Amino acid sequence: MSANPARQGASPGEAGGDVLPQRGARGGPAPGEPAPPPPSAADIEVRLLMEAIYLRYSHDFRDYTGASQKRRVNYALEQMGFRSISALQEQVLRDDQVFGRLLQYLTVPVSEMFRDPDYFLALRQQVVPVLHTYPSIKVWVAGCSTGEEVYSLAILLREEGLLDRALIYATDINPQSLEKARQGIFPADAVREYTANYQRAGGRKSFSDYYTAAYGSARFDPALCANVIFADHSLATDSVFAETHLVSCRNVLIYFNRRLQDRALGLFHDSLCHRGFLGLGAKESIDFSAYGERFDTLARAERIFRKRA
């Protein structure tokens, strides 16, 4: 893993978007709409910080939702001991390691195994039977964080006899999270909750069959990840890389504004095969997006959609 958290392969020029906001182009009022109130000094500082990060590291956080981004920046300030956003920006521009630390706050690397068990139960009951009809399947877990969602899907696919013919792409923009995901070691004290989730998700075995407990940790069976490719990929700046049968992108779009949500949904739509499946997080939806008409709803409460023919 590179110690430099700058994203490879995307340069600011290639990644699209304006270097500095143009009036009416990025977040400005549409013609005929009243102008929004002027941004506060703190809002401007956050935007400048995101521009600086984009220019220096090619990580594009400019279209993340304002309020929660501001909260995360303020929390990072406290934790990292900076007195102002401008002071943080100055160091971020000069020191890769400061950016690496800030990235941990900006990306919210929080996950859990079989999170929202009903989602995994619906996959098992309504999606797996269709996946069985393909000789091989490709699954994309976008924004996989530290890997809990990937291991959950791998366990489910193994129990359903599909893991051997599955290729799973697990992508994220946080290199530290990807490294943890590759290791598959999770805190033992979380396992009790994961076990309950697994059972509610229709698990067919004993959850303890999948990990070895040692020194306060649970190490998951590496064979679960034999067909998993962990890779850096940004939904904000990168493009589609494979045709897939199922995209699971949970609790990621919630941090994006409408424009970036549409970009990500466009990638998923382009990546999915004919009648492919899309799973989102419990608070996420395609209803008001540019892609609402391009998917059927398979399981509304569980947020599982199917690409329209």
> Considering the rule CB under 6 A, would residue 197 count as an interface residue with ligand SAM?
no
> Considering the rule CB under 6 A, would residue 177 count as an interface residue with ligand SAM?
yes
Which residue from 185, 236, 246, 253 is in contact with ligand SAM, where contact means CB under 6 A?
236
Tell me the per-residue interface mask from 237 to 256 with ligand SAM, x by CB under 6 A, - otherwise. -------------xxx----
> Considering the rule CB under 6 A, would residue 262 count as an interface residue with ligand SAM?
no
The alpha carbon of 18 is separated from its chain's Cα centroid by a whole number of angstroms, namely 23
Query: Smaller CB distance to ligand SAM: residue 164 or 270?
Result: 270
Query: Smaller CB distance to ligand SAM: residue 144 or 191?
Result: 144
> Considering the rule CB under 6 A, would residue 107 count as an interface residue with ligand SAM?
yes
Q: How many residues bind ligand SAM (CB under 6 A)?
A: 24
For the bound state, the minimum distance from the C-beta of residue 276 to ligand SAM, rounded and expressed in Å, comes to: 18
> Considering the rule CB under 6 A, would residue 121 count as an interface residue with ligand SAM?
no
**Are the beta carbons of 128 and 158 closer than 8 angstroms?**
no
> Considering the rule CB under 6 A, would residue 235 count as an interface residue with ligand SAM?
yes
> Considering the rule CB under 6 A, would residue 226 count as an interface residue with ligand SAM?
no
Q: Which stretch binds ligand SAM (CB under 6 A): 26-34, 104-112, 209-217, 290-298?
A: 104-112
> Considering the rule CB under 6 A, would residue 109 count as an interface residue with ligand SAM?
yes
Query: Could you tell me the CA-to-CA distances from 246 to 4, 128, 136, 251, 308 in Å, in that order?
Result: 32, 10, 12, 16, 14
Tell me the per-residue interface mask from 132 to 171 with ligand SAM, x by CB under 6 A, - otherwise. ----------xxxx--xx----------------------
Sites of contact with ligand SAM (CB under 6 A):
107-112, 115, 142-145, 148-149, 172-174, 177, 234-236, 250-252, 281
